[in-house]
Structure 1
C-alpha cells in the first residue's frame, strides 16, 4: 500500500514537471521568435535613422539625393540624402 502511494506520488510529480517543462519550452520558443523579429528590424531602423526621411501622413517622405545610387528591377529607387547630424 505504501509502495503504491509513493509510486503514485512520484508519477504525479513527474507528470506535473513534464507539463511545466513543456509550457516553459513553448514560452521560450515564442520569446526567441519575437527576439528574432526585433533583430531583423535593426538594419531597417538604422537605415531609416541615417537617411533624411520623415513620416508624412501614412507614407514616408524623403530628401532624394540626385546623385544617389539607383536600385530595383527598373532602377526606380534612388538613395536619399544622409541625415544631418545635430
Structure 2
C-alpha cells in the first residue's frame, strides 16, 4: 500500500513537472519571437534617427537630400539628409 501511494505521488509529480516545463517552453518561444521582432526593428530605428526626419501626424516628413540615392521600383524615393 505504501509502495502504491509513493508510486502514485511520484507519477503526479512527474506529470505536474512535465506540464510546467511545457508551459515555460511555450513562454520562452513567445519571448524569442518578440525579441526577433525587436532585432528586426533596430536597423529601421537607427536609420530614422540618423536621418533628418520627424513624425508628422501619422506620416514621416524628411529633409530630402537632392544628391541622395533613389530607391523603390520606380526610383520614387529619395534619401534623407543626415541629421545635423
Band the TM-score falls in, shorter-chain normalisation: over 0.9
Aligned ranges 1:40-55 → 2 under 5 Å: 40-55=40-55
The equivalent of 2:21 in structure 1 is 21
1:7 equivalent in structure 2: 7
**Cα deviations across residues 20-78 of structure 1 (Å, max 9, x unaligned)?**
00000001001101111111110000000000000111111000000111111100010
TM-score by length of 1: 0.95
Gaps spanning 5+ residues in structure 2: where? none
SS, match of residue 82 in structure 2: coil
Aligned equivalents of 2:35 and 2:19: distance in 1? 25
Runs of 4+ that moved beyond 3 A: none
Q: Is residue 39 of structure 1 aligned with residue 39 of structure 2?
A: yes
Any stretches of 5+ residues in structure 1 without a counterpart? none
Instruction: Give the aligned CA root-mean-square deviation in angstroms.
Output: 0.5
Aligned length: 84
